[in-house]
A and B are shown apart, each in its own frame.
Chain A
Amino acid sequence: SQTIHQWPATLVQPVGSPLSLECTVEGTSNPNLYWYRQAAGRGLQLLFYSVGIGQISSEVPQNLSASRPQDRQFILSSKKLLLSDSGFYLCAWSRTTVEFPEAFFGQGTRLTVV
């Protein structure tokens, strides 16, 4: 079966510090990968997605970047965090066939920038 791991679960970082959140998927190959952010009391905003190694698409311009160094690894980064980067970050994966369009989510990382 497939599993998705996301860490850390919680993170408190000062303004201006760097960020690295990691997500890995097991039990499948060549998945689509996604990073979402959920601000308090709001829905989910798609930040980045990737359909293959080294292929990253950004949905919104911002202070964050993403990388996919391996097939099942997706990393969210920032060089200098802003207060507005606080939120709940969720990694997700999906199969690449339309017969199975649903996404599967990790447990999330609660980021607080202070």
Chain B
Amino acid sequence: AQSVTQLGSHVSVSEGALVLLRCNYSSSVPPYLFWYVQYPNQGLQLLLKYTSAATLVKGINGFEAEFKKSETSFHLTKPSAHMSDAAEYFCAVSDLGGAQKLVFGQGTRLTINP
């Protein structure tokens, strides 16, 4: 079975600092991986996805993630945090079966300090 572990339920950074949100996955097959962002009382918005093409994936709002098979990781980064980045972030893996179900991590709440 596939699973995702997000290290750190809360991450706090200063405005302008590097953002690093960690995600490790477990999958018996080459995975499809995703990062989603959720603002309070809203649905999830896709930030970026990895589908076995380039290992460095660029997404919206200046975020990017690198797929590292040897480390089974898919960490999310942004060089310079902005106050508007404060939200909850979810890493997910797809089972690629007929229903393409997503398995989510527990989420990381990102706080930006002024």
A residues apposed to B, CB below 8 Å: 6, 32, 34, 42-44, 46, 49, 51, 57, 88, 90, 92, 94, 96, 98-99, 101-108, 110
Contacts and interface: CB of A to CB of B under 8 A. Distances in A.
A44 B36 CA distance: 12
A3 to B, nearest CB: 12
Contacts, number: 59
A88 to B, nearest CB: 8
A98 B100 contact: yes
Contact of B99 (A49, A90, A102, A106): A49
B99 A57 contact: yes
Given A101-B32, A101-B94, A103-B102, A43 B107 contact: yes
12 contacts: A6-B43, A43-B105, A46-B101, A51-B98, A51-B99, A92-B44, A101-B49, A101-B100, A103-B102, A105-B36, A108-B41, A110-B41
A79 to B, nearest CB: 26
A44 B99 contact: no
B96 A101 contact: yes
Which 4 A-B residue pairs are closest in the complex by CB-CB distance? A105-B43, A43-B106, A105-B44, A44-B104
A108 B42 CA distance: 6
